Amino acid sequence: MKTLLVTGGAGFIGSHVVRKMVLDHPEFHIINLDQLTYAGNLENLTDIQDAPNYRFIRGNIVDGTFLEKLFQEEEIHGVIHLAAESHVDRSIADPMSFINTNIVGTVNLLNACRNAWKDFEGKLFYHISTDEVYGSLGSSGLFTEDTAYDPRSPYSASKASSDHLVRAYHHTYGMPIVISNCSNNYGPNQFPEKLIPLAINNILQMKPIPIYGKGENVRDWLYVEDHATAIELIFRKGSNGRTYNIGGLNEWQNIDLIRLLCKIMDEKLERESGTSEGLITYVKDRAGHDLRYAIDSTRIAEELDWKPSLNFEEGLARTVTWYLENQEWMQRITSGVYQSYYDQQYRDR
């Protein structure tokens, strides 16, 4: 049985990837490595926590000594690297935490792989990144895998740096790697600091829904389970050294997205039409706010036969239903209950 290490596997995207790999690949032993910060939550994985091919380890990728020991103890054949600080607003307030986790942590992981993998045959380092490394688009055009990097925030700059380092280890040391850059993810289990779950939570509590500027910024939205499917495909079939862009083919202005969300919430909560939209509050724009992101997914479609399974209206309705059915999860994660529990129950190795 080959061992696959998934970093950040208790987070939003990571938990969906871990679940898919555990259920679809019983021939793999899946190790979920997560520090369990505010956005990491093992309740996301209760349905597979007792699976015979699954194991959780709490640890911090910034601790290089810890990683070296882990790779000595476990014969790890592949890595899917999702562990990252990912919220732009937090990166503006505290850039050093993003530099430490996203850059130093990635280098530590690369070094642990390089030291343990004396023979690269059958090994793979898969690095998950973001479309934000490409900068900002105007009203037309799409990001391709050949688009020049132009990061505009501490978050995107830290991810761009980690992308370059992964490619450098491929070219310098011959390490087998693949990289994917995705558009905005949404769906079940997302920590409610991001736009969609934040708006859902605020609507439930009849609180203002903050919208940056005039809400004209455009994002391409990717349902998280479609992203997990793409990751699994790239891990199995992606070409060594190749980069794949993963987009949802769903471009929406923020204000149009929120108006649609408000309409869905009013219907599901049986509120008078327009009730939720009345909560929209325009706030001062984010510093350096990129106007538009949009992904060209042609490469992964042609080479790996992947395409999104849901349009945005379907995915958003499914997402709203999940949050309405899991309001206690929302309350616990926003109250910090999980954080204190994990600190008591787990200790970093």
Catalytic residues: 131-132, 155
Alpha helices in the chain (DSSP H): 12-24, 64-73, 88-93, 95-98, 105-116, 154-173, 195-204, 224-237, 254-269, 298-304, 312-325, 327-335, 337-345
Smallest CA-to-CA distance from 15 within 38, 36, 40 is with 40
Integer Cα distance of 19 and 202 in angstroms: 29
Integer Cα distance of 95 and 91 in angstroms: 5
Residue 243 one-letter amino acid: T
Burial letters 86-120, b for 16+ CB under 10 A, else e: bebebbeeebebbbebbbbbbbbbbebbbebbeee
Q: ∠ CA(289), CA(212), CA(219), 5° rounding?
A: 60
Integer Cα distance of 209 and 188 in angstroms: 19
